[in-house]
Amino acid sequence: MKYLSTRGDTTPRHFCEILLEGLAPDGGLYLPQAYPKVDAATLARWRQLPYADLAYEILSLYIDDIPAGDLKALVARTYTQATFGTPAIVPVRALGDTGLHIEALSNGPTLAFKDMAMQLLGNLFEYELGRRGEELNILGATSGDTGSAAEYAMRGKRGVRVFMLSPNGRMSPFQQAQMFSLQDENIHNIAVEGVFDDAQDIVKAVSNDLAFKRTHKIGTVNSINWARLLAQVVYYFAGYFQVTEKDTDQVSFCVPSGNFGNVCAGHVARSMGLPIKHLVVATNENDVLDEFFRTGIYRVRKGAETHETSSPSMDISKASNFERFVFDLLGRDGARTRELFGSQIERDGRFELSPAEFARIAEFGFQSGKSTHADRVATIRSTWERHQTMIDTHTADGVKVAAERVEPGVPMIVLETALPAKFAETIREALGREPERPAGLEGIEGLPKRFTVMPPDAAQVKAFIAEHTGLGR
C-alpha cells in the first residue's frame, strides 16, 4: 500500500514515512492510492472478532512496512479492557425504540473519542522511532480533546516531545485541567491568544516550513495525520456489527464534527464497502460544514466570526481534514483540489463547487444538520428523562441532528464524542445536577498547572520549539 498527496504529488510513500511526516511536502494530505475493498464474506469473518483483532485486520490492509507480528502486538497492547473499561471497547446502546443508538467511544484515559486513535498513535510512534533510533517533536492544535488525548498517549514515551497549542480560555475548565496539570518533561502546552483556527494555522505554517520541519523533526497528531484517521475507521465496523445481523444490512452514522476527521473515517469505511447508507454531519453554531453540504459553498470564517459555544471542541471554522473528502469527491483531481484549498481559500477565504461537482455529494451518502445551545440543552434533558442516559454537549448535537434524519429500518448510530463530566456547566443547566466523574478525576481543576501563553505568532512558536529541543533558533 502506497500513499499520495491530495494536491497532486504522486510520489509513492509507505505508511511509516507518512506516520512521522504529517502534511505532504506540497501542503496536501495523504491518502492511500486506492481504498482496499471488503466483501460480504470478509464482513462475516470480521463480525466474530474481538476489537483488537478487528483493528489488526483493517490496519494490515493499509500498513505493509511493519512486520505482521509487530503490528498485531502493538494493536493488542493498545485496545485492552484495562485502558477502555470494557471488553467490547466501543459498546453500542440503543435509545429506546427511536432507531437511534449511541456508540461509546469515550471510555479511554481522557474521556473523549480521541483516545481511540491516539493511544494507538503513541505506540506506533514509539515503535517506529525506536526502530530508526530517532526523535520526534509533535506539534498539534486542539479545540479541547485532541490535546489531552495526545498528551496522555505520548507522556513518558521514548523519543517523543509534544508541543500542543490551544485557544487561551476557550476550553472547558475540565479540558484545560486535563492538559495543563501534566508535569511530564516531554509535554509542553502553549495557550494561544485567539481561537482554535489561529492555533491550527500556526501548525500548518510550521509544517509548511520544510527546512524547520526537517531540522526540528516536526510531526503531527492532528487529524491531518493519516494514521490517526485510519485508527478511527475501525470503530465504524465495530459499531455496524453490533446493530446488524446480516452483512448486507445498512446503517447510518451521525457524527458531531468540526474538523471533519471523525466523519472522514466513516467516509473511508464506506469507500471500503461497509454498508453505510448515510453519513450525517452534525455541527454546532459554527456551521461551515453544514453550509457546504447544503449549498456546495465552503466558506471559512474569521476568528471574530467563530462562535464560542457550549460544545467547544467543535468551535472550528476551517476544517483542516475536509480536503481528503473533497479530493475523492473531485475524482481525485489533485490540481483541482490544490486550486480550491490553495489559491481560492488563500485569496477569497471560500470556494464553490460547480453544479456537477455538488451533485456528486449524494453518491457519497453525506447529509448534514445544525444544533444550537438551546437544542443541546433540550436534547441532554430529553435523553436523560426518556432513556436515563446522560450525554455530553457534542454528543447532544449529534443526537439532535440524528433524530431529524433517522429512517425506518435503518439503525442510526450516533458517535459519542466525550463523557458529560468534561462539560459540567451545561449538564447542570440541563439537568440541575452534577455529572458523574470517573474515579481519580475529582478535583482535577485544582491541580497545579503548567503552560505558556503566546500571541498567534508562528515565529514565536518556532522559537519556543527550538529552545525546548536544544537545537537553537
List residues with catalytic annotation.
Answer: 114
Cell of 112: 473523549
Of the candidates 82, 71, 69, 78, the residue with the CA atom closest to the CA atom of residue 51:
78
Interatomic CA distance for residues 59 and 116, integer angstroms: 14
Residue 208 near residue 202, CB atoms below 8 Å: no
Give helix 424-431 / helix 373-387 axis angle, nearest 10°: 60
Q: Give the Cα separation of 149 and 114 in Å (integer).
A: 6
Taking the C-alpha atoms of residue 377 and residue 380, their distance in angstroms, rounded to an integer, is 5
CA dihedral 232, 237, 240, 241 (to 10 degrees): -130
SS3 call for 351: strand
Judged by DSSP in three states, 353 sits in coil
Cβ contacts of 179 within 8 Å, gap of 6 or more: 142, 147, 148, 151, 164, 166, 171, 189, 451
Alpha carbons 164 and 344: distance in angstroms, whole number: 29
Instruction: Provide DSSP, 285-316.
Output: S--HHHHHHHHSEEEPPPGGGS---SSGGG--
Q: Are 329 and 403 in contact (CB under 8 A)?
A: no
Bridge partners for 215 per DSSP? none
Label residue 381 exposed, middle or buried (CB < 10 Å: 0-12, 13-18, 19+): middle
